[in-house]
A and B are shown apart, each in its own frame.
Chain A
Amino acid sequence: MRAPSAPETMGLPLEIADLAVWADGGRRLLSIEALALAPGACLGVAGPSGAGKSTFLYALAGLSPRATGRIGWGEVDLLALSRGRRAAFRRDNMGFVFQDFLLFEELGATANAALLGAFLPARRRGALAARARAELAALNVPLDPPRRVRTYSGGERQRVALARALANDPGVILADEPTASLDRETKDRLVDDLTREVRASGKTMIAVSHDRALLDRMDRVLTIENGEVAG
């Protein structure tokens, strides 16, 4: 099922200390004093809408322009890096799954799954493409005949997005409400696919979700309310 030549990266450990994310006006959106995750751990993030769950997730990716404290991914303190280095870190270590898929609708499934190839160094493109195809196959995404992803069903599209997240073999998967746009039956299948693929390769995962079925499959669930950890 997998590309045999590409060794799998182990998940990265996470260590957070005194993390705070601020809005433009200086209001504090999120505050987390301390959090540690072992490599390969799966963390669910729950809580009411607008409580700061997504803010937390994007801060972990180094995408928040106003974040202070320490976000340690393995040896790397993400917030100490420049914007360009954070982007390079995401490219090499993180895969993303979004609520509304965020695919390039005019491209095919393979092109979407191997999207990183557009800006990856040339020597890594071959391995990326091979792994993208392997992931699509493992997720049973129909590839024949080739067609644009806009013609795929919601569940198929999210599986293409999942293949894209896994294609560069990252140490971390960040998922933002990955099942929220799907119907119940498709949700369950995606939860299966997501947890199976992530755990099989030992990746660390953080999934923001309201979906009990997904949260139940996590090692641990963090509840965020009013920008703070509630339990």
Chain B
Amino acid sequence: MNVTAFWERLSPFQQDLGLFVALLVPALLVGLACVAGYRPYRLVGAMLWRFRWTNLLFVLLIAASVGIGVGLIAQERGLRQGTARAAEKFDLIVAAPGSEMTMLLAAVYLQPADVPLVSGDVFNEIAANPRVAIAAPLAFGDSYEGASVIGTTAQFVTHLSGALGAGRVFETTGEAVAGAAAPLAIGDIFTPAHGHGDGAEADAHAGADYRVVGKMAPTGSPWDRAILVPVEAVWMVHGLAPGHGPEWDGRVGPPFAADAFPGTPAILVRADELWANYALRSEYNRNDVMAFFPGAVLAQLHGLLGDVRQVMSILAIATQMLVTAGVLTGLVVLTRLYAQRLALLRALGAPARFAFAVVWSYAAALIGAGALLGAGLGFGATIWISRIVSARTDILVTASFGWPEAHLLAAFVSVTIALAMLPALAALSRDIVADLRG
């Protein structure tokens, strides 16, 4: 069995672990070969302690550069996973022709946007399509204390939240379901404002009150701060037709009457089977309407993020190379400070390999400590930044320590420790007698 075939039969975890070990092995082997049979640790400890402030500075320098690299990788992945998770429930969006990106931001991430509406004919056509399992209007535009108020159907609430965290789904136009992080509790009564933010007209909908009857389970998306109401209520609050004919009994939800359907900015569509989503997307990409996969638009965005990540990675690697060069220069200087003691060891009969082992262990201790501290710093920074991003966007960004960071760390440690042999070799070529005399 050849190596490639063997490698491909391993699980991803085994491959990641294998790569990690393979990256670290050169450093470990060099270390074992250097130190075998000797006990240089007390001397190395004495060296570390003697120049402790200089050494600490070196460790911090290494830690900063490693931290930046680890943090960038972990943060980018956290953002990518967080935004993807937030878009998970949005299989296919149908909207009036326009910018897919604007619609993605408005419908999935609830960023306010003025967009044209889709008519009731189109909605009923989609709802009547046998391959469609869910067709829900998403009518955004109103807000309450910064939280978006979205008109939709009970089916969508269940789709988004699964079982509610508490209470029940709305049944009349006066009822609402609040997101897990929305500023409302069950039983609260509120009046929505027209629009969002500073431009919102607080009293435009005076008298149109909702009572909160349910609270969604957390979804890790901006919808956690949203308030969901029957779409009929949104229309009525704006003085439009209620979506149903004159004989309507007041029960909210489909079917809607096309001629009484004032329009909706977006429709969430979910097919009964995965493949059918593709058919639906082609079917509803035409002159009067567009259909797109939020996941695909997001993938484009992530592709762009990926390019940024590559630029950042090059920057991070360049930083690390600079830091490594600085560390090596510093090691040469520190080795000179210690030249008399190294010359002493060799005068007393220490083999060249022992003097080499002392310098190398010293360098390895600085690099190892710096790399570990850097991993901690990078991970800590990621946790902190993720919390801020989650708090500001309601997109749940979780920090995790993944294999790419471990690989970066192992590669950095291995390369730098291998390079640390240069100062160690430089220390060996010095004149013992001259160094002994100081």
By a CB distance below 8 angstroms, the chain A residues around B350 are 87, 91, 118-119
Within the assembled complex, what's the spacing in Å between the Cα atoms of A225 and B418?
Answer: 48
**A54: nearest residue on chain B (CB-CB)?**
B437
Within the assembled complex, what's the spacing in Å between the Cα atoms of A61 and B432?
Answer: 11
- A89 contacts which of B345, B349, B352, B438 (Cβ < 8 Å)? B349
* A118 x B340 contact (CB < 8 A): no
Tell me whether A104 and B39 are in contact in the complex, defined as CB-CB below 8 angstroms, given that A63-B432, A91-B348 are known contacts: no
The answer, yes or no, to whether A88 is at the interface (CB within 8 Å) is yes
By a CB distance below 8 angstroms, the chain B residues around A125 are 39
By a CB distance below 8 angstroms, the chain A residues around B432 are 63
Report A7-65 residues with CB < 8 Å from chain B CB.
54, 58, 61, 63-65
By a CB distance below 8 angstroms, the chain A residues around B349 are 87-92, 94, 116, 119
Binding-face segment, B40-48, B245-253, B308-316, B328-336: B40-48
* B433 x A118 contact (CB < 8 A): no
Within the assembled complex, what's the spacing in Å between the Cα atoms of A9 and B360?
Answer: 35
Within the assembled complex, what's the spacing in Å between the Cα atoms of A71 and B47?
Answer: 35
Report A96-149 residues with CB < 8 Å from chain B CB.
96, 98, 100, 102, 104-107, 111, 115-119, 121-122, 125
The answer, yes or no, to whether B365 is at the interface (CB within 8 Å) is no
Within the assembled complex, what's the spacing in Å between the Cα atoms of A102 and B348?
Answer: 11
The answer, yes or no, to whether B37 is at the interface (CB within 8 Å) is yes
Nearest-neighbour CB distance to chain A for B354, whole angstroms, equals 4
**A90: nearest residue on chain B (CB-CB)?**
B349
Looking at chain A, what size class is its interface with the partner chain? 20 to 34
* A119 x B354 contact (CB < 8 A): yes
The answer, yes or no, to whether A83 is at the interface (CB within 8 Å) is yes
Within the assembled complex, what's the spacing in Å between the Cα atoms of A83 and B433?
Answer: 14
By a CB distance below 8 angstroms, the chain A residues around B165 are none
* B348 x A90 contact (CB < 8 A): yes
* B351 x A119 contact (CB < 8 A): yes
Within the assembled complex, what's the spacing in Å between the Cα atoms of A122 and B39?
Answer: 9
- B46 contacts which of A90, A107, A116 (Cβ < 8 Å)? A107
* A106 x B347 contact (CB < 8 A): no
* B433 x A63 contact (CB < 8 A): yes
22 A–B pairs (Cβ distance < 8 Å), ordered by A: A58-B433, A63-B347, A63-B432, A83-B352, A84-B351, A87-B346, A87-B349, A87-B352, A89-B349, A91-B348, A96-B347, A98-B436, A106-B50, A107-B46, A116-B349, A117-B39, A118-B38, A118-B43, A119-B39, A119-B40, A119-B345, A119-B354
